[in-house]
Structure 1
Amino acid sequence: MHTTVRRTWAAPLALVAVTGSAFLTAPPAQAAHTPCPRVTIGSGWYGDNRARLQELIDHYGSCRPHRPGRAKPVAVFDWDNTVVKNDVGDATMFWLLRNGRIRQPAAGDWSTTSRHLTPAATKALADACADLARPGAPLPTGTPAGAACADEINAVYGTAATRTGAPAFAGWDRRTTEPSYAWLPQLMQGWTAREIRGFAAAARTENLAAPVGATQRVGTTTTATGWVRYYDQQTDLIKGLRKAGFDVWISSASPQPVVEVWARSAGIGADHVIGIRNTTTNGGRFTAHLQGCGTTEDGADTMITYIDGKRCWINKEVFGVRGAAAEQVQPAARRQVFAAGDSDTDISFLRDATALRLVVNRNKNELMCRAYDNGDGRWIVNPMFIEPKKRRTDPYPCATTGYVDHDGTKAPVLRADGSVVPDQADSVY
């Protein structure tokens, strides 16, 4: 675990309106300043999004009068489908299955791989995989003999159900974890972080080399996505923010070592990646348990980088907030000024951003309800940069079922003041 630094702003700041949004800038007494080189971002953005992002850089970058001697402004990006097209966790899982790198669990007991795995899923996995390898040994899921095992693992991972349709997971908090996301790093038990980075690098090479639209066969029944691409606009933005003096982080619900490998090309080091993190043995090998945050700081496999869990992990790793306080919204001075995401899984850390929030439109209900409602003028929406989705024809159901509660109950999306967000039309596509 790397050392974290508590960040605060050292002096009072005044608000100035800029193109429909409010940015923090220096008091008038500090306005005199010798200009320094301006950092600019590239093209390829929708509407006035490029201008809004440029304003963010101009008002928070190191060239501004209020910046010298103060902590860097923080920017946080989700990774999958925000900085890259497609999912690097999926790409790694498919590689693990095709190359036989998932180990038989201890005593062949699949319930040890996830506290949320149902008895039906535990039995289905045991039936398909039990005779293929001794406990702790890799399963031959890339061979004809292991194809049924690969099919069962992939069904549980990809559909949250067994091949016969029985629910694979139960009893989780929908705002702090997603058991199928968590299951991928849990299935990496027995390997070291260095070994997992090697697997992820091999999967990365394959997926970047494959043509756009390529597919791959996993097991006997699944034709899966077989390619990934970086969004040039997002990697340029990340590099521009860093050049302008921003402290840029990645928060992802893919495994920590996997995102580390991919983030390197965007200029983000491992110490600025927050993915799902396994606990380890004294020998550095991953266990099937996950590091915790907030009230589960000592680890309970229930607070991953997912919705409210992303808020907790950002507060913990970026701002040094510990214990139960990490699960709460922090004062503005201890929050990111900018955030970017594409899914409902990102909603909490996006709402926490104080200056600007970039949403890549993938037609996700709660996220698009809040982005289009745009009550404080600080949300901007951009279509996906590669293969953007078509316009959603019916409104987002914000006033009825756009929000998913902790127990899975669907409810209206509420503003901070408790009022209901009305249904929203899809207008950026």
Structure 2
Amino acid sequence: MRYRHVFAWTLVAAAALAAAPPAARVERPNCPRLSGSWYGDNRAHLQQVIDERGTCAGRFGMHPVAAFDWDNTVTKNDVTDATIAWALRHDKILRPASWKATSEWLTDDADRALTEACGTDVPVGAPLPTSAHTRCTDEIFEIREDGKTMRGAAAFAGDWNHRRTVPQYAWVPQLFAGHTIAELTSYARRARAEALAAPIGSTRTLGTHTIPAYVRYYDQQRDLIRTLQRAGFDVYIVSAGSEPVTEVWSRGVGVDARHTLAIRSVLDRNGRITAWNQGCGDVPANRGEAIPYIDGKRCWINQEIYGVRGAAAWRQQDRRHRPAIAGGDADTDVTFVGDATGAHLALNRNKNELMCRAYDDADGRWVINPMFIEPLPPQRDPYPCSTSAYNEPDGAKGPVRREDGSVVPDQKDTVY
């Protein structure tokens, strides 16, 4: 288990700061300032939180936390997909002894589709020739992307907590079973170089799928992270991707491996990735039941940053043990972004539950911004907040509710 950062605030320091007269909180000259183009007054809003919570407010040694999702929050496009695409084009997926063993929820339909498409000629543990076998590539990518086979059958079935995991996300590191962390890291580095070199807007064909060929760091997010770090914040990345892949990319914005939280695979005695991942809270090592996904992102933040153990890691903590700023782009981010005490940054990708919370703006601290590259047009219909935007644990859809239990009304899309 990685060495964990322990939050530096103490009760003594917090009490001293609260008791200090206003004159003692003198702002330092040349405080770190945000730059770049943001929507509306978003930059000023974020700057205010940085000034109030960071070293410029005299909060020395107190290290507030900022936490951000990765894919489509710090970068445009998905770095996990870029890595999978590179691996499929370079024959880096190893044939498992059983496709069913790669996920506890994989259906018989998916097992048959993968076996038929990828064949059995290659020895178990040897690379599948996915660069030449379009059918195998298509089945793998379709299951990862949509949770279905190429014929439209469900690829995953059974019971899981839909606020703690989604099988096709958990399946990604499971696909790389048999590789070492160093090998997966090298694939991610090569995929990164290729994606950064591809022109903005470019696509590539993967089997019969057309996918983005490029990834870009958002300049505004890179500047935000660096400004936060200069202002004394501890900045973390919290992703539902594979941790070695996310670490390759997070270094590009100055976030090290210790501050990068994602799906951590359990390794076998030879140091190779298995179909198991490390657990969180009261959930032990598992085959995908609990990953950094929706409520799981809160759990990983509570456990790895604040040292909260057991079932309590799934619950919202007091204000001293929550991020000051948090940002995301999708429903998978809604819980930890909502936990932030200073600013909730939502990049608008038309995701129902997140945007319902953002537009409702119950605490007046939501900051909504269009994507910085190729933003989406406005959603024509209002978000169905009052009926079906909330992701229930059993997979059903329900109304989004505020802390007092009241239902959030449907919201119009206005920031794009």
TM-score range, shorter chain: over 0.9
- Is 1:37 aligned with 2:26? no
CA distance in 1, matches of 2:103, 2:371: 33
| Greater displacement, 379-388 / 155-164 | 155-164
- Residue 203 of structure 1 corresponds to 191
Query: Could you tell me whether the CA contact under 8 Å between 1:181 and 1:254 is conserved in 2?
Result: yes
- Residue 136 of structure 1 corresponds to 125
- CA 1:85/1:320 → structure 2, altered by over 3 Å: closer, same or farther? same
- Is 1:64 aligned with 2:65? no
User: Which of 66, 77, 85 matches 1:75?
Assistant: 66
Q: Structure 2 matches for 1:36-115, cutoff 5 A?
A: 36-65=29-58, 67-70=59-62, 72-106=63-97, 109-115=98-104
SS in 2 for 1:279: strand
CA distance in 1, matches of 2:5, 2:195: 36
- Residue 112 of structure 2 corresponds to 123
The alpha carbon displacement at 1:110 in A equals 0.4
Which string of whole-angstrom CA distances, capped at 9 and with x for unpartnered residues, describes residues 146-166 of structure 1?
Answer: 222112111211221111111
CA distance in 1, matches of 2:350, 2:23: 42
The alpha carbon displacement at 1:35 in A equals 2.6
CA distance in 2, matches of 1:92, 1:57: 34
- Is 1:185 aligned with 2:186? no
- Residue 228 of structure 1 corresponds to 215
Query: Could you tell me whether the CA contact under 8 Å between 1:292 and 1:300 is conserved in 2?
Result: no
CA distance in 2, matches of 1:414, 1:404: 11
- CA 1:204/1:123 → structure 2, altered by over 3 Å: closer, same or farther? same
SS in 1 for 2:11: coil
CA distance in 2, matches of 1:10, 1:222: 55
CA distance in 2, matches of 1:282, 1:239: 38
Paired letter, 1:276: I
How many residue pairs get matched? 412
Which string of whole-angstrom CA distances, capped at 9 and with x for unpartnered residues, describes residues 380-414 of structure 1?
Answer: 10011001111112111100111120111111100
- CA 1:51/1:11 → structure 2, altered by over 3 Å: closer, same or farther? farther
SS in 2 for 1:127: helix
Query: Could you tell me whether the CA contact under 8 Å between 1:297 and 1:323 is conserved in 2?
Result: no
Query: Could you tell me whether the CA contact under 8 Å between 1:357 and 1:379 is conserved in 2?
Result: yes
Q: Structure 2 matches for 1:30-429, cutoff 5 A?
A: 30-32=22-24, 33=26, 35-65=28-58, 67-70=59-62, 72-106=63-97, 109-143=98-132, 146-171=133-158, 172-219=160-207, 221-429=208-416
Paired letter, 1:238: I
Moved over 6 A (4+): none
Query: Could you tell me whether the CA contact under 8 Å between 1:279 and 1:287 is conserved in 2?
Result: yes
- For structure 2, the residue ranges without an aligned partner over 5 or more in a row are none
CA distance in 1, matches of 2:225, 2:203: 29
SS in 2 for 1:298: coil
Query: Could you tell me whether the CA contact under 8 Å between 1:132 and 1:140 is conserved in 2?
Result: no
CA distance in 2, matches of 1:69, 1:83: 27
Query: Could you tell me whether the CA contact under 8 Å between 1:76 and 1:249 is conserved in 2?
Result: yes
CA distance in 2, matches of 1:371, 1:169: 31
| Greater displacement, 28-37 / 340-349 | 28-37
CA-atom RMSD, angstroms? 1.5
Query: Could you tell me whether the CA contact under 8 Å between 1:294 and 1:327 is conserved in 2?
Result: yes
- Residue 18 of structure 1 corresponds to none
Query: Could you tell me whether the CA contact under 8 Å between 1:82 and 1:341 is conserved in 2?
Result: yes
Percent identity for Structure 1 against Structure 2: 52
Query: Could you tell me whether the CA contact under 8 Å between 1:191 and 1:286 is conserved in 2?
Result: yes
Which string of whole-angstrom CA distances, capped at 9 and with x for unpartnered residues, describes residues 109-154 of structure 1?
Answer: 10110111111101111122232411111101012xx222112111
Paired letter, 1:94: A
TM-score (norm 2): 0.96
CA distance in 2, matches of 1:12, 1:54: 24
